[in-house]
Amino acid sequence: MNRTASLILACLFCALSALAQQPAALPSDSSATTTVRGCLVSSRGNFIVVEDRTGLVYALRGVGDRLYGFVGHEVEVSGQLHPGSMKTGINSTKIGSNPSDTVHGIEGVPLQVNDVSTDVRMVAKHCTAADQQ
């Protein structure tokens, strides 16, 4: 339990530190497939990948709830990058609450996954970034 909590905290630390970085340039052909490798983290029902090399955050789209078994693991994800950014897990703490009660998620580059069974694969049981700390 303690190691798992440390791993999740380390992944979230990496994700938050990457927020200050500029998103990667998108390929000129938005239908081109891109593969990213990094730590899979769940943020308020959404899945994000914190890329190993750059620390960039990718918000996965089209995966539903099928990746919970991969959380905290090193993964490779293939998909199409979309322009802009996507904020994950924005929800109010109370129904009808004002904006100051809103819990904000993590911002990332949208990565559309077409088929979870073929486009997402686990490459290690532990995240590289967390193992280096």
Report all structural domains of the chain as residue ranges with CATH numbers, in order of start: 2-131 (2.40.50)
Three-state DSSP state, 45: coil
Q: Are 45 and 90 in contact (CB under 8 A)?
A: no
Q: Please, what is the average pLDDT of the chain? A: 74
Highest mean pLDDT among 2-16, 50-64, 80-94: 50-64
* Mean predicted confidence (pLDDT) in 15-39: 63
Residues contacting 125, CB < 8 A, separation 6+ = 73, 74
User: Do the bridges between strand 74-81 and strand 107-112 make them parallel or antiparallel, or are there none, so unpaired?
Assistant: antiparallel
Residues contacting 89, CB < 8 A, separation 6+ = 43, 44, 45, 46, 103, 104, 105, 106
Q: Is the pLDDT of residue 36 over 70?
A: yes
Tokens of 96: 């009808």
* Mean predicted confidence (pLDDT) in 84-102: 55
Q: Count of residues for the chain?
A: 133
Q: What count of other Cβ atoms lies within 10 Å of the Cβ of residue 51? A: 20
pLDDT value for 92: 43
* Single pTM value for the model: 0.65
Tokens of 6: 């440390």
CA distance 32 to 36: 13
pLDDT value for 79: 96
Q: Is the pLDDT of residue 24 over 60?
A: no
